[in-house]
Structure 1
Amino acid sequence: MVNNTKVYLEVVKQLREMITNDGLETGDKIPSERELSERLNFGRSSIREALRALELLGLIETRRGEGTFIRDFRGNHLVQLLSTFILQDEKAKRDVFETKNFIEMDCLRLAIHKIDDQSIENLKKWVNQQGIIDDNDFFYQIVEIADNHLFARIWSILKDYYYSFGSSKMIYSRENYLSLLEALAEKNESKLLTAYNGLRNLSVFNDKY
């Protein structure tokens, strides 16, 4: 049985195999969510998440009122990228982690200009109330405040890819999160990035990953 963090990656893999086995070409229509759910024996929500991932990578497109179609599936270099992720290549794992970090930093930069005092106070209260702080929950809130839909989609997918490799969740210091929030409150980008580097311990990144 595939665990929850790997479900939609397994669906993506089976979708690719189905497209290849059925001989579907660029421009061809793929089956509906319901049909895919029945054929691949996965729930509709998992099928939908897999289709979103493929659409984000530019491999399929949804046309309102018409359905979902293949976009340059065989020739697109992103197929190789996706294949690398699914094969759980060690370099892909490192690349995913680094890219996730960059997106988090960009979301923090955006949040400087969009966060208000009440949101900062709410986040501080949330951090102080947690026994063990869930890093994903913290940055989900930051990504929401950044209010960039594409960043949010990419971050969510990269996060799931990273943990699908079997990586354990890191536990970070409460003080690190509070330092990030202080920098946001001061709207000090330099201090913010220093705090983020401290959180992720990026100075020893090469030794740990």
Structure 2
Amino acid sequence: MTNTKVYLEIVKQLREMITIDGLKTGDKIPSERELSERLNFGRSSVREALRALELLGLIETRRGEGTYIRDFRGHQLVQLLSTFILQDQKAKRDVFETKNYIEMDCLHLVVQKADNQEINKIKDWFEATDHFSDDEFFQKFMELSDNHLFLRLWSILKEYYHSQEENYLIYKRELYLNLLNAIAEKDLEKTLSAYKKLRNLSNFTDKY
């Protein structure tokens, strides 16, 4: 099972567990260890699913107290979009296109706002890492853009995108390096050009 499918399955089971246990907004959910045992998934997978749910604003972690439900049962966005997307080919293309626009907008913010030290940290990580996923690479720039809403939207969209794609696209390392170098130069035009080359886009010209 892929990491994305594991994440989606944990979210599904967690939602069912909350319903069965009659938990409501403000209630505390079991600990990471308890969830791992109850749902029969590794703690690292459970931790990633909880982190994603927290980014979506569905749960909140209170230091020293535990994790609490914010508005889980009333939050139908994931379920509704998933049903919609799985039944509509145009919607699948829309997800891919919207995800790309969000990534470009975030890169725009990074070029404008990020300082050289922050970008150099990502370059150091890149040089020290032989294998990484596309999500890992762009997650760093999503966070660096310092726009929480973009990060939340991107997190949702990438999960939907991966949930329908059986085979992840593999991009060449040199294309990531070209993009990283353009960002480090603070050259927006070169950055967007490198991004489009990485994604093999030829029709994203109206906005950029």
TM-score normalised by length of structure 2 = 0.68
Answering whether residue 86 of structure 2 is matched by residue 89 of structure 1, we say yes
Whether the 8 Å contact between 1:143 and 1:152 is mirrored in structure 2 is yes
Whether the 8 Å contact between 1:85 and 1:93 is mirrored in structure 2 is no
Q: Which runs of 5+ in 2 are unaligned?
A: none
Shift of 1:4: 2.9
C-alpha distance in 1 between matches for 2:180 and 2:81: 33
Distance 1:15 1:197, change over 3 A: same
C-alpha distance in 2 between matches for 1:68 and 1:141: 25
C-alpha distance in 1 between matches for 2:4 and 2:190: 34
Q: Specify the alignment match of 2:183 in structure 1.
A: 184
* 1:98-153 CA-partner distances (Å, limit 9, x unpaired): 3432332133223324364994xx68x96xxx9x9964565456557x36384567
Whether the 8 Å contact between 1:9 and 1:86 is mirrored in structure 2 is no
- Which one has the largest radius of gyration? 1
Q: 2:76 aligns with which of 73, 77, 80?
A: 80
Q: Which runs of 4+ in 1 moved over 6 A?
A: none
Structure 1 segment 7-46 matched on structure 2, within 5 A? 7-46=6-45
Shift of 1:192: 3.2
Find the residue that maps to 1:103 and give its secondary structure: helix
**Which segment is superposed worse, 151-160 or 32-41?**
151-160
Shift of 1:39: 0.9
Distance 1:57 1:142, change over 3 A: closer
Aligned-pair identity (%) = 63
Structure 1 segment 51-130 matched on structure 2, within 5 A? 51-75=50-74, 79-84=75-80, 87=83, 89=86, 93-112=92-111, 113-114=113-114, 116=116, 119=120
TM-score normalised by length of structure 1 = 0.68
Shift of 1:202: 3.9
User: Number of residues paired by the alignment?
Assistant: 194
Q: Which runs of 5+ in 1 are unaligned?
A: none
C-alpha distance in 2 between matches for 1:156 and 1:138: 13
Distance 1:105 1:82, change over 3 A: same
- Which letter maps to 1:148? D
